[in-house]
Amino acid sequence: MWRAARRVSVCAPVGARCLGSLVSQRAIGSARLSATRLPSAAAFSLARRGLATKPFLLHDIGEGIAEVEVLQWFVKAGDTVQQFDKICEVQSDKATVEISSPIEGTIESIAYSVGDTAKVGSPLLQWAGSGGGSGGGSGGGDAASVTAPAHAPPPAAAASHPADSKVLSTPATRALARRHGLDLTSIVGTGRGGRVTKEDVQAVLSGGSPAAPAAAAAAPPAAAAAAAAAAAAAAPLPPLPPLPPPRLLADRHEPIRGIKKAMVAQMTAALAVPHFGYSDEVVMDELMAMRALLKPLAAELGVPKFTLMPLIVKATSMALHRFPELNASVNADCTQLTVKAGHNIGVAMDTPNGLLVPNIKDVGNRSLLQVAQELARLQVDASAGKLAPADLKGGTFTLSNIGNLGGTYTGPVINLPEIAIAGLGKIRPTPRYDEAGSLVRRSVMQVSWAADHRVVDGAMMARFSNTWISILEKPASFLLME
């Protein structure tokens, strides 16, 4: 359904397998390095010192991954590395992973260039290792050691890049810059944390360049400001500069990799399932008033941004208690329905890496404050690319809040193996008639449901929707149904 990611460092002591991969938001740009070898004299010298040349294999990094893309190298042929030194960074369809050295040794040659696809089990490089670390780097078992990702630099520092390999940008941005012969280090990034975006590159290609933000000048006194405004009003307006000629960029072909590749597989499978849709509307005025009352209390208890979403998530769990058959999954051949005991409610999030769907575990047994705290954590981790695989697995029902971007109606796609999903529209002021027949202003949100029509019928979805709407429109029911 939507997409996702986090970064880990992996090193490889002998005799174990990689523990798994964590998903990341960043794909750090890098310079291409050609595969090179040490001179034969150097190799002979290594052999005389008893340092046998051995291949360093790309071992299984979990999740059934068969191949990865090489994003950047931290070493080159001839370098000497210590145990736990970073060797390279690779990206699968589920994670960005840093591979570290399990032993001390010297790099003899590198097998792949930046942008190449490496198969699991193939040699990443050849090296001569001293064996002084906890394990060898040969084709025997390399194990994984997971370390915390480094903290991102502050935005002011991120705008200055010491080398092109350290410029924060996506693979598509790097490819566009390379195609036009641009040096990313000369471009000031306007994205989050100083990231260079495709728009920044295109601005340079069209004749401009994003400028670094300047410090705001001190405000002049009121009298001086008034005099300056009067003078400016009296002065004739300068002529507008001529528009630059339109520049058409050439078509480009981009391979579908990483998270996009996983999305292709997920959506292809999901759209093979017969969906049906059901839409309704919710009057949100009372829920919005309740949120306004709870917001300062939530801030005192550690949730400074208390939105409507925790209330909607909790209401969904309450409705699922009455309709447990919708909190379920089906097996591949649709011969068995598994009704889930816990309500692991997924919330689709728009992140720099794309659309991700982490889920809040066991919502039915959490308080409203605990739901709000966990949702806030997931939002922070998703934006920073630090979501763990466990945050993205085990969902039983999904909410997709397209209204954050301004949409009203949507046609959500089921997040397999779940059997139902809700698409929430933007809350809009809308004229409605009250009980007395008077025209009044109401805050209305559209909801679009989709369900697996093999196991869910329209009547069940309508009854569930009515229950869910009644909870949201009369939020005092939260107290009775907890």
Secondary element (H or E) of residue 359:
strand 359-360
- Alpha-carbon gap, residue 477 to 470, rounded angstroms: 9
Q: Give the SS3 label for residue 198.
A: helix
Catalytic residue among 180, 183, 321, 457: 457
Please, are residues 330 and 323 in contact by the beta-carbon 8 Å criterion?
Answer: no
Distance of CA 304 to the CA centre of its chain: 22
| DSSP secondary structure string for all residues of 374-423 | HHHHHHHHHHHTB--HHHHS---EEEE-GGGGT-S-------TTBSEEEE
Tokens representing 13 are 């002591």
**DSSP β-ladder status, 397-400 and 420-424:** parallel
Q: Cβ of 165: how many Cβ atoms within 10 Å?
A: 21
DSSP E strands: which ranges in 130-225? none
- Of 71, 124, 70, the closest CA to residue 102 belongs to 124
- Alpha-carbon gap, residue 444 to 55, rounded angstroms: 63
Secondary element (H or E) of residue 166:
none
Q: Give the SS3 label for residue 99.
A: strand
- Alpha-carbon gap, residue 282 to 392, rounded angstroms: 28
Please, are residues 142 and 14 in contact by the beta-carbon 8 Å criterion?
Answer: yes
- Of 22, 90, 94, the closest CA to residue 381 belongs to 22
Q: Cβ of 179: how many Cβ atoms within 10 Å?
A: 13
Report which residue type is found at 350.
D
Q: Cβ of 133: how many Cβ atoms within 10 Å?
A: 21
Q: Encode burial over 78-117: b for 16+ CB neighbours within 10 A, e otherwise.
A: eeebebbebbbbbbbbbbbbbbbbbbbbbbbbbbbebbee
Q: Cβ of 294: how many Cβ atoms within 10 Å?
A: 19
Catalytic residue among 60, 85, 285, 453: 453
Distance of CA 177 to the CA centre of its chain: 23
Please, are residues 10 and 97 in contact by the beta-carbon 8 Å criterion?
Answer: yes
Look up 453 and say whether it is catalytic. Answer: yes
Q: At residue 210, what are phi and psi to the nearest 5 degrees?
A: -60, 130
Active site residues: 453, 457
